[in-house]
Structure 1
């Protein structure tokens, strides 16, 4: 099942799930969601002098800007984009290992994609990073994470892991909106449409979600 809701509501729900696991570390949530078109920016960019003016301009052009609590860079939302949010607690007394936690997020996506899946930086991709999931050398998914010390058990941490996945080709309108956003903020980087890919034509979103769900649940 995939929920469709405004990005602001989805981002707020992610934090609610993180709070739940912080207080109830035996709980675990695997959630798929989509939203209307918008941009999602990390809070770090909101400190830029022109952020308010830039957000107003993009909203007027049909690209409202939402802020998220995880790191990374600005990403699009809209048709053809699927999000997965995985929230869980670490084992008691075990320190957080970022590489291990990103493996828990990226490996199921790679398994669901099958041959051609890999991981790493892709110059020109939006929200480029070490833990991109690629398909045949192009960006398929971007990832981000938030970690909170457990409230019920201080020896455990609550992990909120998120991935944005391109089920359909990312639109040139989305890329143009990101580039305009970055340009107005004075950021010296440009996003390239050709750095991205999507789910293969012979695959379907329901089949992909079923494989992805199975791969995540196999870790539980």
Structure 2
């Protein structure tokens, strides 16, 4: 089930869940959520020139900007956009391999989508990267990770895996908002609505979430 929640509250919950797994590495958490319209940017953006001005301009225009602890790029949130937050710890003594953790996340999404799913760069997409999940050659999901050593067991690492996915066509106003934000930050790039796709007809977000949850379990994780 997808929870409707304020984006700031969802991002704070991510940190709480990561802290919980750090202290209790045998626990896992799986949270699907969506929020009202806003932008989410990685903490690294705070160092960009004009960041505060950009935040104020977008806030005045009805697009508040929130910062998140994972990497990645600026993304829109709002109706038709939903998120996965999965927090777990790797086995004791296993070295962290970013490619393995991204593959765990992307493979689950690809299998839940079915035919036509793949991964890779998508020019013009928001939060573009090698670990995009595509559907029929267009971007469906963006992914990001945060990893920290567990406080309760220094031989284990807590992993916060995040995905942003499109249940419906991304709204033109969301693309305008993110392009305005990037322009104010001096970014020489433009996000294109045509680079994105969404869940196929006949597959609802709730049904997809059920499929995705099952796939996450199938790749060796337990969902609380």
1:174 aligns with 2:174: yes
**TM-score, structure 1 normalization:** 0.99
Taking the aligned partners of 1:89 and 1:44, their CA distance within structure 2 comes to 25
Residue aligned with 1:211, SS: helix
C-alpha contact (below 8 Å) 2:120/2:132 kept by paired residues: yes
Task: Give the equivalent residue in structure 2 for 1:97.
Answer: 97
Task: Give the equivalent residue in structure 2 for 1:45.
Answer: 45
1:204 Cα offset (Å)? 1.1
1:8 Cα offset (Å)? 0.7
Taking the aligned partners of 1:89 and 1:172, their CA distance within structure 2 comes to 38
Q: Over the residues paired in the alignment, what is the CA RMSD in angstroms?
A: 0.7
Taking the aligned partners of 2:77 and 2:101, their CA distance within structure 1 comes to 24
1:96 Cα offset (Å)? 0.2
Taking the aligned partners of 1:183 and 1:208, their CA distance within structure 2 comes to 34
1:2 aligns with 2:2: yes
1:104 Cα offset (Å)? 1.1
1:79 Cα offset (Å)? 0.1
Taking the aligned partners of 2:89 and 2:206, their CA distance within structure 1 comes to 27
Residue aligned with 2:164, SS: strand
Taking the aligned partners of 2:29 and 2:185, their CA distance within structure 1 comes to 35
Matched residue count = 220
1:49 Cα offset (Å)? 2.2
Residue ranges of structure 2 left out of the alignment (5+ in a row): none
Runs of 4+ in 1 over 6 A off after TM superposition: none
Taking the aligned partners of 2:194 and 2:217, their CA distance within structure 1 comes to 33
Residue ranges of structure 1 left out of the alignment (5+ in a row): none
